[in-house]
Structures are given as C-alpha cells and as structure tokens.
Amino acid sequence: MKRPAAPPNPGGTTGAGVRGAGAVVRYGGGLAVALAIILPLHPASATATARDRDSASSASAAPDETGDRAGRDADIVVTAPRYGEAEVAAETEIAEDEIASHGAGTISELLERLGPLIDPSGEEPVILVNGKDVGFDRSILAYPPEALQRMGVLEPNAAARYGHPAGKRVVNLVLKKRFASRNAELAARTPTRGGRHGGDLGVGQVAISGPTRWNVQGRVSYDSALRESARDVQRGTVDLVGYIAALDGGEIDPALSAIAGEIVTVAPPPDPSDTGQPALADFAGVRDPASVVEAARFASLLPAQRTLSLNLGASRRLGAFNASVNLTATASDSTDRRGLPHISAVLPAANRWSPFAGDVALVRPLAGDTALRNENDTRSLSISATLSGRIVGWRTNVSAVYGHNRGRNLREHGVDLEQVQSGLDDDAGFNPYRPWSRSLLSATRSRSDSDNLSVRLNAAKPLFELAAAPVNATLTLDAMNSQSRFTPLDRLGNAQPGGTRTTYRRGGGELALSIPLARRDETGLLPLGDLSLDLAAGGQASSGSALRRQYSAGFTWSPVAFVRLRGNFEHRETAPSNDDLGAPRVETVKRVYDFVRQEIAEPIWITGGNPALDRGSQRALSLSAQLRPPDSRAITVDIRYRRNEGRGGIAPFPELTPVTEAAFPERITRDGAGRLVAVDARSINIARSSQAELVSGISLRLPDPAGASGLRATPGRDPLRYTLSVNHTWKLESELLVHSGAPLIDRLAETGQPRHALSARATIGRKALGANLQATWSSRSRVKASAAASAGSDFLYRPPVTVDLGLFVEPGALSSNPDDAGWLANLRLSLDVDNLFDSYRRVTLSDGSVPPGFARYEVDPLGRLVKLAVRKRF
C-alpha cells in the first residue's frame, strides 16, 4: 500500500531538514493509517490532500504482493504543526539560550535590545503570541524573557496576513508550555555628576500552563528633580528676605537715616515673628548677606517624577476559542520648580504696619524659599479583551479596548500684584512682613478627561489554490468612539467657564489579498523563485469628514534562497484625528533656546487640539533587499529605500528655529523687549512635505543559528554568543512647504536635521554572563539664523558619539553546581552606564564661539547615568 500524503503544515513545508517543518512522529502499520485519516486537514489543502489520497488508492489497487507487504512494514511520517508557529515563516529565529545571553529583564527590554535585528528603522513591531495576534493586549511585554521558548521575526509579508499595514515587521513570541515564576527587582540610578537620584521597585508573578496563562505586575519608580544649581547654571541671585526701598531709589525716610547714622536707601524688614506693629528703629539694621543666594537653587532642569503602575492579565481557552483580558492602571506625577517668586509693591504711609513718613517700595519673595511650581498629575485605566479562533473556516480575531485618562495641571505664574496691593491698601490685618500663603500666587489650573473605546475585527482565510500556494484574504474592520473634556478650575478645584467637550467617531475597513505567483521547488529549478503579490484596499469614515480611501500594492520576491527583494506602494487619504482636532489645550512652561535673542527662554508652550486642521493625502514607496549567505543565518544584510510625500494634511509643529518662526509668525508671541513669551506648538496645516531616505544595515550572529559556520554550538554546552548590528540612515531629502507662496523649508540645510545617522550594537554573552555595547552618531548639521542672515551667523551642530554599556551576571549559574546555589539561584546583577563618555552635542557659531545657552549641562543636564539593578526570581 502506498504511503498516504501527510497534511500540509501551515507553518512551513513538510519533510525532514526543511525550514519550518513541524515535529515528525513515526507510526507503523494500521495505527499510522488511522491517524492519517482522523488528523484534521487545513482548509486550504483539502483539495490537494484528496488528490493525493486518490492517487494512493489507484496505486494500491495494483496486484503487487511485494509492494503491499512492504507498505505494511514501512513506517509512516506524520507531520504536525510546530508548537507556536505562525502562519508565515520566520526569517530570523532566536532560541532560548540566545535570548538569555542578552540579559534582559522583561520581554519589552529584550525587544528593545533586539531592535536592530527586528527593524533597523526602529518602528515598533506587531506582536504575536504562539502565532496568534494579541490585539490590544500588551501584558506579554512585562513577562520575564525566561518564559520564552523562542521568538521569531517573520517574513516581511506577515503584517498584511495578520491585518496590519504592509511592511511592518511582525514578531512571534513562543511561550514555554509550562512556566511559573515570581520575581522582584530593585534598581537605583544616579548621574555621575550628582544632583539627581532615582530608583525602581518591581514585583510580579507569571504562570503558564499550555493555553492558559496569567500575570500580575506592579512597579514604582521615582526620580528627584535636577536643579540648575547642581549644574552651575548662572541665573543671578535672589533675596530670601526682601527689603524696603524708596520709590524713587533715594532716601527712604530722614528719620530712619538719623537713627542709623547714615542715609538709608535700602532697609531690611523687621523680624517676621514679631506680631506687633514695627517701630522705625526695627528697620535700622543691616541686611544679612546670607539671605542673598543663587537663583538657580529654585529652578529645575529636570522635574521630580513618580510613577505607579499595575498590570493584570489572563488568557485561556474557551471551547474552540482563545480569550484574553488585560487591565492596566497607571498613576504618575511630575513637579517642576520655576524660580523664586518676587514682587515689588507700594507700602502706603497710611498702612498700620508702616512707620515711614511716606509711601515706600516693598520688595520681597512670597515666603522665603517657596518656589513657583509646574505640576502635572495623570491617571489612566485601560481594559482590553481579545477573542480568537476559527469561524466557518476563517481565522478570526476580535479585540476591544477601553481607556480612561484624567490629568490635572497647575502652573504658577508669580505673585498676584493686584491682590497683594489690595491687601496693603485696604486690609489692616494683612501683614506685609510675614510669610504669605500660596493663595496669593496667580496660577492656571485645569483638568482634562478622555474616554476611548476601540473595537477591531480581523478575519483571514485561504480562498483558493494556485500552483504556488493558496491565495489568502484578510478582512479588517475597526471602529472607535472617543470623548474628551477640558475644564478650567479655580484654586478650590471648582469648574470655571471656558471648558470644551469634543466627540469623535471613526469606522473603516480594509480587504487584503496575498497572492503567491511562483514558488521555488525543493530542487530550485524554477527560474522565478518565490514570488508573491500583496494587494489591499479600504476606507475610513469619521465624524465631520467624508470617506477617505486607501490602497496599497506590494511584492516579495526571492529569486534564490539567499536573496529577498520587496517593494510596496501605499496611498492614503488622511484626516485629523480626534486628538488632533479636540485634545485638551495644555499650557506648560518649556525651556527652549531662543535663536533670535541667543538666550535660554521659558515661554508658555501650548499643545492640544487644533480645530482648524485640514485633511490631505500621503503616498509612500519602499524598496528593500535582504541578503544572506546560502545555508547560513550568521550574516544578514538589509538595504531599504523609503520615500514619503504628503499633499495637504497636517504635521507636528517643527522645532523652534528662525526658519520656523519666519514660516509661522502667528504662532510665536514676544513682548515689547523681544523676549519669547509663548509658542503655539499645536499641529499645523501644510501644503506639501517630502522625505526620502536610504537605510542599510548588517547583522552578525555567532555561533551560526543555522549551524553552517565554523563557529557552531556544541550540544550540551552553553557557548559565548556574539551579536553585532550596524545600521546607517542617509536622509536624501526632507522638505516642507507651509502654504503656497511661502519659501520651501529644507530641513536638512536649515533646521538642524542631520543627513547621516549611524547606530551600532554589540552583544557578547551566554546564559549567566554578558555585556552589550550600543553606540550612536549623527553627522553635523546647521540651523540657519534667519532668512536674511549670512552663513557666518548660522549655528553649527556637532553631535557626539554616544556610547551605552550594559553588564550582567548571574552568580548562581556560574557555580560548579548550580543546583546548590542557594539564595544565589536565579539572582541577576546588572550594571548599565548610559552616555559612557559623558558626551554632548556641541553648538558653535562660525567663529567657533559657544552661543549663550549651549553650555555643557544646558544642552544635556543629566550627562553620564549609572544604574545598578538586582533581580531575583523565586
């Protein structure tokens, strides 16, 4: 009897030694036949399998006693899908031991370290778990890497198969079938220059049992404020006590001068602890020099920050479906010190607290060293659910997420002069010498709330068979409803007039087809190799906007096994999102460099929605090539060309430069002296934008995962593993036209955007010991001083080479008998140094001088940062 054909493997091809082949199980005799009959068949391969079965029946009908006896005695090969395999093959696969050699604390950190291998452009990938799309659930990113059996970076056409934009990279995380772990991590960090300290405390528990898994993770982090005084920023001096002076700057009072024995033009205030009315002699003392201090003590370069997060997740099988739910709650706050508030008011002679013959000037702070604050508090809650399974032959994934966000903002401007003057003029109980409360500060208070509900349906199915493979269709439907509210508040927290409320709804869909045109057979005789075509078309409709069309087309071609070529074109009509149009208006104080006055400024920085934004369109073209040596995964070379063109539509507000100010004069506010007061940094309308870049990269992994090089892993050993990736980005074009008639902005020549960027990452390690080194560099750039200025007054940017170093060790695993490591078992110590050489971006004028505001720690206040972490798994 002829051997029945094994059912096709959706994760790869059948047969020993072929990439993507599933686990092979051998059965003999009648048991094998029975298993071959009852094994479920893939819907797309039913016709082919039936055809093979018919061929087998015809052959077995021949009267061949010898062949029949041989068939009964022969083993039968049954191929099952590999555990956790995705529907698209992985072009790069990372095994458990190689994952351990990177020393990451979470899967999120692991993906960050493997970023150059996943996508050199740095774009966030789509995440699958055990071959299934997780939807909006991101709880898997908090799992420890030890929970992974392996991870794979899928071929470039995978995104379209799973209902995501073509060209996005897809990462498949394959979890261990059985895993349980409790973990705790404690970390401390500080810059080597001092002035700031911070730390993290995280605890969690993860349990996996086949398709069922759950996790709980909690984390607290804190960073203290970095004050300007810690970096020798010069702000002048301030008086913590204050003084009395004449209104015209001359003698305060002849009687006071007679008591002091000299003409008094500046007098210290009396002791604030005295509750009685002061006498003239109480002002005859000498000002305490210790009360005059550096103003930089009361201003922050970096705010104090605190964050508390909690993540709960669970996933299990429900009949024929997999279901998962996730809850994430986060609370964070930041406090920025903005200097000491001072006031100069008139103390009337008629005031009961004044012993002077005439009106005098009262100059004083609010209350000693009480500084102005800029506070932001945010609270967020997100709940997501995903249900996936097969419905009438369609691989279906339904996911929904609800998110609620609430934020409170406080920005103190200074002492309210009108309120203080009113107290000095009319309130006999208002003591001008005692510390004042914060109620005398003018401030802006607001609250913003938003609620968002998003639902997405993704369904995929092989439609019919072609000679190369099945044609796959993917249907994606999505809908969103969003509401946002902005409420001004008074000092008691009560709502004030002027609030806004917006509602935004959006719905759309897309149909994508993956069409295999040719397939290279096992002998490699077909001249075309592997060739497939991806087509997609759809549309989006939203409240207040007409239907927006979108379509794309792409191809993937592998003429030979070690070369893969890909091209993609996409056209998309765009419209402003809900946040673009109606996000709450937020006013904060931002520290920026004012190129016009060549000084550091702290203007009011306005962000939020802009109702005047228009719709537009975008076109994107990408061409890429990937090369690998035959039968090897040690070296990979990637080259990608990308071009994006926008017509109309919106763009983020660009970096504030003279060119930007000339293009958007209505967005910049200056006072009578030319000082920068406010910047409206909300999104902008544009007439046209174009960007083109060439991205190239090379990666090296040793021992060769495919086992083709001389350096290969020996079974039973844990050798050192080496990973090296180098990526280069060459920006060929970056232009912006704000509106017709305006000058074209060349961002590469005028706004400080570098033309070249280079990044490299090297890792050496094994399971218990490792090191990684990351370096970045960008080319010199120029900020044009103004349209009329000569090149000699331009600002020249000289970026540094920035190097980050990471080390880790697991002492228990290094011992001769890891099973007897005791409390050292599963203990990891790690040391990370960011900006190892304490480098920073240097800015000079054409004559080599450093303009004001670009001193070492004004450009990069933090400098070299050292972090020590201890993680223990139980």
Those residues of the chain that have pLDDT short of 50 are 1-72, 523-525, 708-713, 787-790
What is each CA distance from 316 to 142, 237, 319, 678, in whole angstroms? 18, 64, 10, 53
pLDDT for residue 35: 28
Strands (E) in 616-667, as ranges, are: 616-627, 635-648, 650-651
With a CB cutoff of 8 Å and minimum separation 6, the contacts of 479 are 454, 455, 505, 506, 507, 508
CB 783, CB 751: distance < 8 Å: yes
Q: Is the dihedral of CA 110, 113, 114, 115 positive or negative?
A: positive
Q: What are phi and psi of 290, to 5 degrees?
A: -70, -15
pLDDT for residue 46: 34
pLDDT for residue 20: 37
Q: What is the DSSP string of 289-321?
A: GGGEEEGGGGBEEE-EEEEEEEEEEEEEEETTE
pLDDT for residue 786: 63
Please write the tens of the pLDDT for every residue from 576-591.
776 777 676 777 778 8
pLDDT for residue 566: 92
The terminus-to-terminus CA distance of the chain in angstroms comes to: 55
CB-side neighbour CA atoms (13 Å) of 560: 7
pLDDT for residue 32: 34
Whether this model's pTM surpasses 0.85: no
Nearest by Cα to 586 from 403, 374, 303, 416? 374
CB-side neighbour CA atoms (13 Å) of 71: 17
Cα 66 to Cα 841: distance, rounded to the nearest angstrom = 82
pLDDT for residue 58: 36
Pairing of strands 126-129, 170-175: parallel
Q: What are phi and psi of 185, to 5 degrees?
A: -135, 135
CB 97, CB 717: distance < 8 Å: no
Please write the tens of the pLDDT for every residue from 6-34.
333 333 333 333 333 333 333 333 333 33
Alpha helices in 514-609 (DSSP H): 578-582
pLDDT for residue 382: 94
Torsion angle, CA of 292/298/299/302, rounded to 10 degrees? 140
Q: What is the DSSP letter of 661?
A: H
pLDDT for residue 530: 87
The helices-and-strands tally (H runs, E runs) of the chain is 14, 49
Residue whose structure tokens are 């087809």? 513
Q: Report helix, strand and coil shares of the chain as percent, to nearest 5.
A: 15, 50, 35
Please write the tens of the pLDDT for every residue from 495-505.
888 888 888 88
What is each CA distance from 595 to 499, 602, 674, 793, in whole angstroms? 35, 13, 12, 11
